Structure 1
Amino acid sequence: MASQNSSQVVNTAAPNERVLLANERVTGPAAAELILRSGIQTYEAGDYWSIHLLDNATGGGILLEKVFDLAAEKPFASPLKVIAAGDINEEMLDFVRRKRDTAVQSLGPTAQYWKVVDVRKVDQTFLQSEFPQVYFTHIFNNFGIFFSPDSDAALDSTYQTLTQGGVAGFTTWKSIAWWHSIAEPALANYIPEAPTLQTPDKLFPSRGWSDPEAVKAMLEKAGFCEVDVTEFGFTPEIEPEDFTEAMAVLVQVVAKKGWSEQVFERYADQIGPALLKYMQASFPNGRWDGKMTAILAIGRKV
């Protein structure tokens, strides 16, 4: 996922599809929980009787996967009529298009939903530019809002693009727990000569999204009512090798910002192996038993 076009761009896009899929194993549980808490499966849209859904800052499209899995398991009260996936990162959009095409060709239970997904480049601070005449019943943003250089503008754009009574849902990280329990000790133990690193939250352009009360205040300021902000803790179900490679992407982004070019070139390739060695030495079967904590925020347009 990358932030919107600005001088504050923070590119944490996965370098390959395998790592992107690993990232989705980490972000997927919170997306699934957000969908359930949004009540989309029981939504009734008055005279329209249909759901118009936007997966904003879609990344690899894991939220859509969770929506479609739920819909296939238990049909929604209202049909999924309009489905859009938007992101500023073209590599992510290409990945979602491939995921869509593969799902459609499989003829599986979710193919009927994937075949109508409209994938397009969208700036989350100005959704109206791509959807001037579309008003969504649901807009979800899974771990993307804090990448925006102006999250107030992104919230306002989300609000304006919702239909009356529409629902918006956001996930953010309260803390990146593995940073302190894995990354910091791994580098200290296996690359002790490398400079220490700042925590990754300092890199995100929009601040305040790790504080549940601040998140609630920001949604209410944007005009949302019935705002519900809760915490959701979970342990990712992911192989140690995949988890460490996914973690290494973010650690390297932080290192590239915090280290000199010479220092980065010297130590960057050692980060992934250091993370894996530490996990194998510290946890049963190399599997981290800690918990990620996400913030789930849901609001409605009056």
Structure 2
Amino acid sequence: MDWKNMQVPERYKLGEAITGPFAAHLVALSGFSTADGSSELDVLDNACGTGVVTFQLYEHAPAIARARMSVVCADLSPLMVENVAARIAANGWVGATAQVADAQSLSVTLPTDDFTHVLTNFAACHLPDPRAGFREAFRVLRPGGTLAFTVWKAVGWYPHTARALALIPGAPALPPYADFVGSMVTATESGEGEKRKWVDPAFIEARVREAGFTEVATVLRENATRMAGAAEHAQAYSEITKLMLSMMWGDKVKEFGAQFEGALERAVREEVGDGEVVLKWEAYCVIAKKA
């Protein structure tokens, strides 16, 4: 993906209707919704993207807790960071800052034993080296600190996209979702087959423990999104879906991109006719402690 493309942050922000509810789950699971202001909350919104986790923090943490809360929004993409910095200013999120940082090598910019919480929404297992990301999260957390992150189990756009691509002559077939995730991972310790395991909660929990964490637990959460009909769905989802596909296929997406919205509308209409389009989303929310 071209992280220098100005359209990337805007297209990602459109996806917050999908990712936002799961970010809210992370915030609640980590205790922010009931925080009483008795202790400092120093949060790293790691691989922050458009800042959806930070948005949920400032929405759901009580005012008494926000008074003692600081948030560092960190992302590898300078454009994402610029976008989040503007969002911080526009919303008046006191205590929040944004900076460029690679989740796999936070030591370049962030100190050891510094944060009470490291939160990541749908990026931890999409890194080229997820193990390095877990190790770095462990390093920057204080003893007793909390790691929490989300991992997709079921992605709502995937089945319709597979059918749409099948309608476009010459377009590649969409692989199983585990292969899509695996295409982003480059570092393995047990061969290429390991890449497909980054959607398996038991495998992921084991890797979190390897990084030094304890009290590792996973809960499953689900959500549904609705569009009035096939045309509305295709218009809303075609660009963000192509963006996701470019993470796997790069510029090859341009070869069929112009036909994708029409094919997506046709594929959806063949399934639901003129009715409402309902997409189901499921994600694992993983939480762990640094002893």
Q: Please give the secondary structure, in 2, of the residue aligned with 1:235.
A: strand
Structure 1 unaligned blocks of 5 or more: 3-9, 105-113
What does residue 108 of structure 1 align with?
A: none
What does residue 185 of structure 1 align with?
A: 163
1:53–1:80 contact (8 Å) kept in structure 2: no
C-alpha separation in 1, matches of 2:204 and 2:132? 14
CA distances 1:259-278 after superposition (whole Å, capped 9, x unpaired): 5xxxx554222123322333
2:184 pairs with 1:204: yes
Shift of 1:280: 4.1
RMSD over equivalenced CA pairs, Å: 2.7
After superposition, where does 1:236-275 map in structure 2 within 5 Å?
236-237=225-226, 240=233, 241-256=235-250, 259=252, 265-275=254-264
Shift of 1:192: 3.7
What does residue 202 of structure 2 align with?
A: 213
What does residue 5 of structure 1 align with?
A: none
After superposition, where does 1:91-102 map in structure 2 within 5 Å?
91-102=79-90
Shift of 1:173: 1.2
Shift of 1:18: 4.2
Q: Please give the secondary structure, in 2, of the residue aligned with 1:291.
A: strand
1:175–1:292 contact (8 Å) kept in structure 2: yes
Shift of 1:132: 1.9
Task: Go from structure 1 to structure 2 and tell me whether the alpha carbon gap of 1:11 and 1:126 turns closer, same or farther (over 3 Å shift).
Answer: same
CA distances 1:48-107 after superposition (whole Å, capped 9, x unpaired): x21001100000001111111102xx4455744321000001111111112112212xxx
Structure 2 unaligned blocks of 5 or more: 187-194
CA distances 1:146-168 after superposition (whole Å, capped 9, x unpaired): 23222111111111111111111
CA distances 1:220-259 after superposition (whole Å, capped 9, x unpaired): 11111111112212113566222232122223443437x5
2:49–2:75 contact (8 Å) kept in structure 1: yes
Q: Please give the secondary structure, in 2, of the residue aligned with 1:289.
A: strand
Tell me which moved more, 153-162 or 274-283: 274-283
Tell me which moved more, 160-169 or 132-141: 132-141
CA distances 1:105-148 after superposition (whole Å, capped 9, x unpaired): xxxxxxxxx13211001111222321226611111011111232
What does residue 286 of structure 2 align with?
A: 297
TM-score by length of 1: 0.80
What letter is aligned with 1:129?
V
Shift of 1:17: 4.9
User: What is the aligned-residue identity percentage?
Assistant: 25
What does residue 129 of structure 2 align with?
A: 150
1:187–1:194 contact (8 Å) kept in structure 2: yes
Which residue of 110, 113, 138 corresponds with 1:159? 138
Task: Go from structure 1 to structure 2 and tell me whether the alpha carbon gap of 1:255 and 1:265 turns closer, same or farther (over 3 Å shift).
Answer: same
Q: Please give the secondary structure, in 2, of the residue aligned with 1:86.
A: strand
C-alpha separation in 2, matches of 1:265 and 1:45? 50
1:86–1:122 contact (8 Å) kept in structure 2: yes
Shift of 1:202: 3.4
2:153–2:283 contact (8 Å) kept in structure 1: yes
Shift of 1:283: 3.0
What does residue 194 of structure 1 align with?
A: 171
What does residue 7 of structure 1 align with?
A: none
What letter is aligned with 2:175?
Q
1:14–1:20 contact (8 Å) kept in structure 2: no
C-alpha separation in 1, matches of 2:149 and 2:255? 38
